[in-house]
Amino acid sequence: MATKTEKAAPKAAKTTKAASESAPAKTAKPAAKATAAKPNALQQPLKPSAELGAIVGTSPLPRGEVVSKVWDYIKKHNLQNPENKREIVADDKLKKVFGKDKCSMFEMNKHLAAHLKA
């Protein structure tokens, strides 16, 4: 009769065989890297409107950088509601972007999207 260790050895051989069979699949990744060089929707530079440009600058920026710069502006000018940090109290520049006095941080991206063009 075979012992437990002798039974375990063939299983280990099967796992190494399975690993070696999947090795050719790893060679397909360089083709994926070629498509990854193309910027996706979040990395594509977008031109801000004049109103948004007063806050983030007028040069084209990726959407993530625009949001980051708007948050920097909000924090620099202390525009978050102290009782509810999710609410942004707009100053004159942000009122032009948001279209209202107050905006939640979740609504902010919707308003920013209206001011960004490809």
Query: pLDDT tens digits, residue range 49-80?
Result: 999 999 999 999 999 999 999 999 999 999 99
Structural domain span for residue 68: 47-117
Residues 6+ apart with CB under 8 A from 115: 48, 49, 51, 52, 97
Q: Decide if 78 is inside a domain.
A: yes
Q: Decide if 92 is inside a domain.
A: yes
User: How many structural domains does the chain have?
Assistant: 1
Q: Decide if 27 is inside a domain.
A: no
pLDDT at position 43 is 86
The encoded tokens of residue 93 equal 């520049």
Instruction: Provide the CATH number for the domain around residue 84.
Output: 1.10.245.10
Segments of the chain scoring below 70 in pLDDT: 1-37, 39
Q: Decide if 73 is inside a domain.
A: yes
